[in-house]
Structure 1
Amino acid sequence: MAQRLSDAELLAELEPQAEAFLERHLKMTETWYPHDYVPYGDGRDFQAEPWTPDQPTLSGVARTAFFVNLMTEDNLPSYHREIYDMFGKKDSAWMTWVHRWTAEEGRHSIVLRDYLVLTRNEDPVKLEDGRMAVMEEGYDKEDKNALRGMAYVSFQELATRISHRNTGRYSGDPVADRIMERISKDENLHMIFYRDMMESAKHVDPNAVVEAVADEVMGFQMPGAGMPDFNRMAIEIAKAGIYDLRVHHDDVIWPILRKWGIFEMEGLDESAEKRREELAGFLSGLDAMATRFEEKRAAKRAKAEAREKDFVS
């Protein structure tokens, strides 16, 4: 088995690419301000007019999706700590990226909370209690090495981009859709940085890259998975088609795997080849699970439509 690089060796080898991708990012990114996206004229005093459940204009599913997205963004301090620890080299392009990434991500929770509070589309007490809960729970990358960490955030940033964008479209609110479109642009640029870093790593330590990718695809969880009642909310979001197994398989996992050419790589050692075979089997199973979920969802919708038709007639 070929000797694998330590995190320190890998990061040192890849730092020129990190610096190049950081410079590219800074040229591509657009400065924006949360206050430009939020209807401040809708704001009302909560002491004079307390929040009540009849005030939201978003559907229940859209509110659930917005809540999950905001709670996920709220945990930024934990993500910063974990990525800072993962790259762990002060006065480097890696650290410059970490701080820049954190600053850009910070806008997302600001604009989402301001929108939900000012439009009264969510109970502000629920939002604050949720924020406290997720931040007290925190987030732990479970001692992933640098390659596993970069593999994870490549998929996670794309998953978040798609979840945010679909939430905006589903909302039926042009203001919400514009906010989610803006956030999604940030998430896409963040994904590109990590995705391309993994592409570079593939040429430095290909066997370790394949194993890291296999580990993260097969063990993937969204960063909000630890929030209270996450499973119920995730099912509700999946039933609406905002983010489900089909989206995850077709629009998140496979586009990145194709970009990396994981199944076209040659000359892998025995361990990496075995993990790649396991990954292929997992993806086949995930595709089958997505199909079953789609079939069940379609059948339930058909029954509901039939019952409604019978009721009307």
Structure 2
Amino acid sequence: MTIAPARHDGEPGLSAWSDAHLLYALEEVVEKELNRHLKVAKEWMPHEYVPWSDGRNFDGVMGGEAWAPEQSKVTDIGRIALVVNLLTEDNLPSYHHEIATLFGRDGAWGTWVHRWTAEEGRHGIVMRDYLLTSRAVDPVELERFRMAHMSEGFESDNGHSMLHSVAYVAFQELATRISHRNTGHHSGDPVCDRMLARIATDENLHMVFYRNLLRAAFELAPDQTMAAVRDVVTAFRMPGHGMPGFERAAARMAIGGIYNLRIHHDDVLQPVLRHLKVLEIGGLGPVGLAAQEELGLFMGGLDDQARKFDERRAAIEARRAARAAS
């Protein structure tokens, strides 16, 4: 395959790479990363992570016992985060539609799209089986939330640009991994923690795939890719933002240490930016330089916001501790 030399896309007189051109130019990279992924990804069975012997019938047509909060083994913050995480996984059909439309269903791109979808599907399966079998959450509320969330579907914030989508998932897969791991740590149930650790391993491999693809995009179209990363980082939202009650749940998860500004800055954005040395890339044209400078300024501002959040969170925890002591 012959690939056009990298150019300062965005400079006067130089046209930008089209999505079709980038998809073609990155095909070999996708194939390489797909083969690497298939070698390191380990097969696992969702049913092995579910405590089936704990299960019993619910009320309704089976005449079982209605759900009650005291039946749950997980913490309050664990229940909130588990519902948010599962509802996010539930929207997989919309995510598949998004990336299949952008990346295509042919060649290495198509093989990856279907493989990624199959692996992500396991996450929703095992989480729902665990939640219902262990009675961790209210099954009626969960189903109503699922219906509402999936009825809305999901549409990317990224303007359906291929580069924006690659940049977004490079960060989002890591954010999802962090959210799952922290949910497990705060769940209070070792079975839940083990299950979410297994899911997080998949999410990390997905992040590596997209991060390596983003690196190749920087080599081909540095200015366009820098602008896409700037756009994604400065306007980042988790894919579950449209679910019922998300803002309130996100606030509870932030205070509870599941996912907040400090985690987003330190454990999601910084690791990807640092690994790719995004703020150190040279040879950029005017568009890329402006995006790189804006990105650096944004990260500094986000760190300041995270510091203020840390102070507010510490104050809240201190007040809670004082009330508990009294």
Q: TM-score, length-normalised on structure 1?
A: 0.97
Q: Does 1:10 align with 2:22?
A: yes
Quote the Cα distance in structure 2 between the aligned partners of 1:157 and 1:128. 25
1:78-157 paired onto structure 2 within 5 Å? 78-88=94-104, 90-142=105-157, 143-157=159-173
User: What residue in structure 2 maps to residue 49 of structure 1?
Assistant: 65
Q: CA deviation at 1:57?
A: 2.0
User: What residue in structure 1 maps to residue 281 of structure 2?
Assistant: 265
Between the two proteins, the alignment pairs up a number of residues equal to 309
User: What residue in structure 2 maps to residue 60 of structure 1?
Assistant: 76
User: What residue in structure 2 maps to residue 225 of structure 1?
Assistant: 241
Q: CA deviation at 1:191?
A: 0.5
Quote the Cα distance in structure 2 between the aligned partners of 1:11 and 1:148. 13
Quote the Cα distance in structure 2 between the aligned partners of 1:129 and 1:14. 41
Quote the Cα distance in structure 2 between the aligned partners of 1:30 and 1:221. 30
Q: CA deviation at 1:130?
A: 1.3
Amino acid at match of 1:102: T
* 4+ long deviations beyond 3 Å: none
Amino acid at match of 2:37: H
Quote the Cα distance in structure 1 between the aligned partners of 2:323 and 2:202. 43
User: What residue in structure 2 maps to residue 21 of structure 1?
Assistant: 33
1:199-238 paired onto structure 2 within 5 Å? 199-238=215-254
Quote the Cα distance in structure 2 between the aligned partners of 1:64 and 1:112. 13
Q: Does 1:71 align with 2:83?
A: no
* 2:75–2:186 contact (8 Å) kept in structure 1: no
Quote the Cα distance in structure 2 between the aligned partners of 1:304 and 1:134. 33
Quote the Cα distance in structure 2 between the aligned partners of 1:75 and 1:114. 17
Quote the Cα distance in structure 2 between the aligned partners of 1:34 and 1:204. 39
Quote the Cα distance in structure 2 between the aligned partners of 1:27 and 1:93. 15
Q: Per-residue displacement from partner, 1:11-54 (whole Å, max 9, x unpaired)?
A: 10110010010000000101111110001001101122121233
Amino acid at match of 1:107: R
Amino acid at match of 2:106: D
Q: CA deviation at 1:281?
A: 1.3
User: What residue in structure 2 maps to residue 301 of structure 1?
Assistant: 317
Q: CA deviation at 1:308?
A: 2.8
User: What residue in structure 2 maps to residue 191 of structure 1?
Assistant: 207
Quote the Cα distance in structure 2 between the aligned partners of 1:285 and 1:214. 14
| Local SS of the residue matching 1:141 | coil
* 2:73–2:188 contact (8 Å) kept in structure 1: no
Q: CA deviation at 1:134?
A: 1.1
Quote the Cα distance in structure 2 between the aligned partners of 1:275 and 1:202. 13
What is the aligned counterpart of 1:38 among 43, 50, 57? 50
Q: Per-residue displacement from partner, 1:57-86 (whole Å, max 9, x unpaired)?
A: 211111000000000000000000000011
Q: CA deviation at 1:306?
A: 2.4
| Local SS of the residue matching 1:210 | helix
Q: Superposition RMSD on alpha carbons, in Å?
A: 1.0
Quote the Cα distance in structure 2 between the aligned partners of 1:45 and 1:66. 21
Quote the Cα distance in structure 1 between the aligned partners of 2:185 and 2:142. 22
The answer to which of 129-138 and 296-305 deviates more is: 296-305
Quote the Cα distance in structure 1 between the aligned partners of 2:296 and 2:33. 30
Quote the Cα distance in structure 1 between the aligned partners of 2:259 and 2:265. 10
Quote the Cα distance in structure 2 between the aligned partners of 1:59 and 1:170. 7
Q: TM-score, length-normalised on structure 2?
A: 0.93
Q: CA deviation at 1:279?
A: 1.1
Percent identity between matched residues is 53
Amino acid at match of 2:313: R
1:140-179 paired onto structure 2 within 5 Å? 140-142=155-157, 143-179=159-195
Q: CA deviation at 1:97?
A: 0.1
| Local SS of the residue matching 2:123 | helix
Q: CA deviation at 1:305?
A: 1.7
Q: Does 1:274 align with 2:290?
A: yes
Quote the Cα distance in structure 2 between the aligned partners of 1:266 and 1:284. 20
Q: CA deviation at 1:127?
A: 1.4
User: What residue in structure 1 maps to residue 6 of structure 2?
Assistant: none
Quote the Cα distance in structure 1 between the aligned partners of 2:103 and 2:74. 40
Pair 1:306–1:51, CA change in 2 (3 A):
closer
